[in-house]
Amino acid sequence: MRTTTFKDCNILRLLVFVILPLCAIVYGASHPSGYYAGLINLAGIYIILVASLNLVNGFSGMFSMGHAAFMAIGAYISAFFTLTPAQKMASTPGLPEWLINANLPFVVALIIGGACAVVVALIIGYPVLRFKGHYLSIVTLGLIVIVRAVLDNEGEYTNGARGITGLPPKSNTVVIFIIMAIVLYFLFRLIRSQYGRGLIAMRDDDVAAQTLGINLASKKLSAFCISAFITGMAGGLFGHMQSVISGKFYYFDLSFRVVQTSIIGGMFSLSGAVPGGIIMAYLPEVLAPLETGVKLFGHQLPEMYGASNLIMAIILILIIIFRRQGLMGEHEFIVESMFSKDTYTSLFKKEEYLNIGRAFRDLFTGKWRKSKKALPEDIDNTPPVV
Amino acid sequence: MSVLLEASELNMHFKGLKAVNNFNAQIEKGSICGLIGTNGAGKTTVINMLSGVLVPTSGKIIFDGKNITGVRPDKIAKMGITRTYQNLRLFKKMTVLENVIIGAQMHDKLDPLGIVGNTIPHKRREAELKDKSMEMLKVMGIEKYADHISGSLPYGSQRKLEIARVLAADPKLLLLDEPAAGMNPQESAELTEIIRGIRDRYGLTILLIEHDMKVVMGLCEYIYCMAFGEIISEGLPEAVRNDPKVIEAYLGRGAVHAEN
Ligand SMILES: Nc1ncnc2c1ncn2[C@@H]1O[C@H](COP(=O)(O)OP(=O)(O)OP(=O)(O)O)[C@@H](O)[C@H]1O
Ligand SMILES: [Mg+2]
């Protein structure tokens, strides 16, 4: 008899991966300016960012470290379409007249921001991705520096290092989570289709993939562009959430934080973005009091500036040592649960309720320990001596 | 019979090393050709050139009437030449079935609407790919492993999986690089039958590199023998086997005299 684990319980999946997020959304939407709403929104944006980064770093075997640059592009470009003409006259007077007067719905502005990020991704990706090796990492690092330099020095268009303030607070919880759901669904369909299989094949063995008809250059470039588009949109969301944008927000710091999040959650899994994003949004807040000195078990700890960064770094190192695949490994059950019909119909099936009972029983009787899959035969897996 | 593949005056030089020198071959449609030779003779390099992995230093490859010299490997694959690898290049983290599906989906056009919308034609196509891949696994006799991670298979089965994977791509010409390496005599006898079977069933043309003479003699209708980058002998199996030059290449100069 098969053992039942909690992964088989669709009702639990529904509760944890659908109902719980919905509660968060409802809470965030009803307390729009609250402290926790801010954290929920931040987690949502991290999830979008990390999922799109995983498409590149995890599924297609390239390694981008410069996604903050695409965020910056998305943030600035979308802001150009949501700020009022008066604001633009004051801070970015160099813009052409039509752009100063332009005003578009938020989502359209986000899409334009994403599209501009794609243009930049094409420009740097086209020459680089045709070669093997980690050129992309270096080039994307360079891209962050270039974008920062442009933002700081083209004051006519960007208000220089002062940045642009007063972005309309349009990134509310509902918008963020709707976009997050669409992005996750889209990426999930992508990796489960012939396109995504091709990507993974390319990552596992590029030579074999090529001789099975996969055009490496176009696969890499298209994945990179899709990722840049989503990241650009997320950048727009981020900018309109903070309502201030400036080159210094989109520098190495943010870029590395997103990469770190992706590694902690598991970059070979879209679902990894979910625990990764949540941890990354909340942990710094939890650790923040350490920096200014906190009372712990009756002792007053001294001020430790940088303590939260240090702890985050230690967590990253521990993950790399003990669970290199990240929290989710290559499992997709989080995203799978969100978009599977079975999850939603489970409430109406008696069988599903019984499953929960079985899962508890098997947990306590320890049967699940023995359920490891074995090959049908004894295996001689030693390669021959040539 | 018509010629499916013609290689003329192929050269592959790595800096000073002439890995393949003046290679000429014609492969008849529907035949099984053998490519034998000592270690480092340049056999794998020939397959690398035919499949587009390496661009020849000079020379010309005509496949099915088209010049494919210097064409990208993915395009050559779509034209109908697929290959396996001496050192196994499976997609190790994918399941056995998924490996074969990569081959099966080779000729599919990208269908963005189907992917995003998970439309009915898209689902049907996915099911077809699965069925076809299962069939290929059955042909190779490894269907019981379908859901296992390919890297965890026994070595011989991994070799069979590589063949199943390229077979699913509906090739015209199959290039097999030492398919029986690492197999015991019983396994390689089995494989010989399978290879003959797939040739007959799918109307394939096969070029086979192999050290196991039993396999080569049992399968090949024509044989090229290479040593130090050059073809030293070609012809019918019996003729090549008894060619003094071949014996010399394999066993050294003394062997020829000893036999006479
Ligand atoms: N990419 C390369 N760069 C440099 N030298 C190479 C390259 N590929 C092959 N060679 C050299 O070319 C020669 C022929 O190699 P090849 O792999 O074609 O031999 P082979 O006949 O397949 O031998 P084996 O029976 O051992 O597989 C060898 O000396 C090898 O070192
Ligand atoms: Mg070889």
pLDDT at B23: 95
User: Is B54 in the same domain as B99?
Assistant: no
Query: Which is the closest atom of ligand 1 to the Cα of B46?
Result: 18
Judging by DSSP bridges, how do beta strands B173-177 and B205-209 pair with one another? parallel
Candidates B48, B83, B105, B158: best to mutate against A (most CBs of A within 10 A) is B105
Higher-confidence residue of A131 and A63: namely A63
pLDDT at A321: 93
pLDDT at A11: 86
Q: B116 and A189 in contact by Cβ < 8 A?
A: yes
User: Is B199 in the same domain as B128?
Assistant: no
User: Is B212 in the same domain as B99?
Assistant: no
pLDDT at A96: 92
**B85 inside domain:** no
Mark which of B168, B203, B237 sits at the end of a domain.
B168
Contact A51, A184 (CB under 8 A): yes
pLDDT at A306: 80
Running DSSP on this structure, what letter comes out for residue B108?
Answer: P
Query: Which is the closest atom of ligand 1 to the Cα of B42?
Result: 18
User: Is B71 in the same domain as B177?
Assistant: yes
Q: B129 and A194 in contact by Cβ < 8 A?
A: yes
Residues of B in contact with A181 (CB under 8 A): none
Angle ∠(A286,A289,A295) on CA atoms, nearest 5: 115
**B195 inside domain:** yes
- The closest CB to that of B154, out of A186, A205, A381, belongs to A381
Question: pTM of the full predicted structure?
Answer: 0.91
Lowest mean pLDDT across B1-5, B8-12, B92-96: B1-5
Q: A194 and B154 in contact by Cβ < 8 A?
A: no
User: Is B5 in the same domain as B63?
Assistant: yes
User: B182-197: per-residue pLDDT in tens?
Assistant: 888 999 999 999 999 9
Residues of A in contact with B136 (CB under 8 A): none
User: Is B142 in the same domain as B107?
Assistant: yes
C-alpha dihedral, B163 to B169 to B172 to B173, nearest 10°: -40
Ligand nearest to the backbone CA of B20 = 1
**B70 inside domain:** yes
User: Is B185 in the same domain as B76?
Assistant: yes
- Which of A202, A381, A330, A325 has its CA nearest to residue B152? A381
Helix (H/G/I), strand (E/B), else coil: B28: strand
To which residue do tokens 């396109």 refer? A195
For residue B176, the cross-strand partners are B208
User: Is B110 in the same domain as B232?
Assistant: no
Mark which of B143, B168, B193 sits at the end of a domain.
B168
Structural domains in chain A, sorted by start: 31-331 (1.10.3470)
Residue A15 has pLDDT above 50, yes or no: yes
For residue B7, the cross-strand partners are B25, B61
Residue A296 has pLDDT above 80, yes or no: no
Residue A334 has pLDDT above 80, yes or no: yes
User: A246-277: per-residue pLDDT in tens?
Assistant: 999 999 999 999 999 999 999 999 999 999 99
Residue B260: Cβ within 10 Å count: 6
What is the rounded CA–CA span in Å between residue B105 and residue B109? 9
Query: Does the ipTM exceed 0.85?
Result: yes
What is the 3-class SS of chain A, one letter each residue? CCCCCHHHCHHHHHHHHHHHHHHHHHHHHHCCCCHHHHHHHHHHHHHHHHHHHHHHHHHCCCCCCCHHHHHHHHHHHHHHHHCCHHHHHHHCCCCCHHHHHCCCCHHHHHHHHHHHHHHHHHHHHHHHCCCCCCHHHHHHHHHHHHHHHHHHHCHHHHCHHHCEECCCCCCCHHHHHHHHHHHHHHHHHHHCCHHHHHHHHHHHCHHHHHCCCCCHHHHHHHHHHHHHHHHHHHHHHHHHHHCEECHHHHCHHHHHHHHHHHHHHCCCCCCCHHHHHHHHHHHHHHHHHHHHCCEECCEECCCCCCHHHHHHHHHHHHHHHHCCCCCCCCCCHHHHHHCCHHHHHHHHCHHHHHHHHHHHHHHHHCHHHHHCCCCCCCCCCCCCCC
Higher-confidence residue of B111 and A114: namely A114
Mark which of B148, B168, B188 sits at the end of a domain.
B168
Residue A133 has pLDDT above 90, yes or no: no
What is the rounded CA–CA span in Å between residue B53 and residue B177? 14
pLDDT at B171: 96
Tell me the nearest-neighbour CA distance from B89 into chain A, angstroms.
6
Quote the domain boundaries for residue B112: 91-168
pLDDT at A5: 76
User: Is B198 in the same domain as B238?
Assistant: yes
CATH number, domain containing residue B13: 3.40.50.300
User: Is B99 in the same domain as B64?
Assistant: no
**B160 inside domain:** yes
**B258 inside domain:** yes
Domain total for chain B? 2
**B86 inside domain:** no
Mean pLDDT value across residues A66-83: 96
pLDDT at A378: 45
User: Is B189 in the same domain as B247?
Assistant: yes
**B235 inside domain:** yes
Contact B35, B43 (CB under 8 A): yes
User: Is B193 in the same domain as B73?
Assistant: yes
Mean pLDDT value across residues B42-52: 96
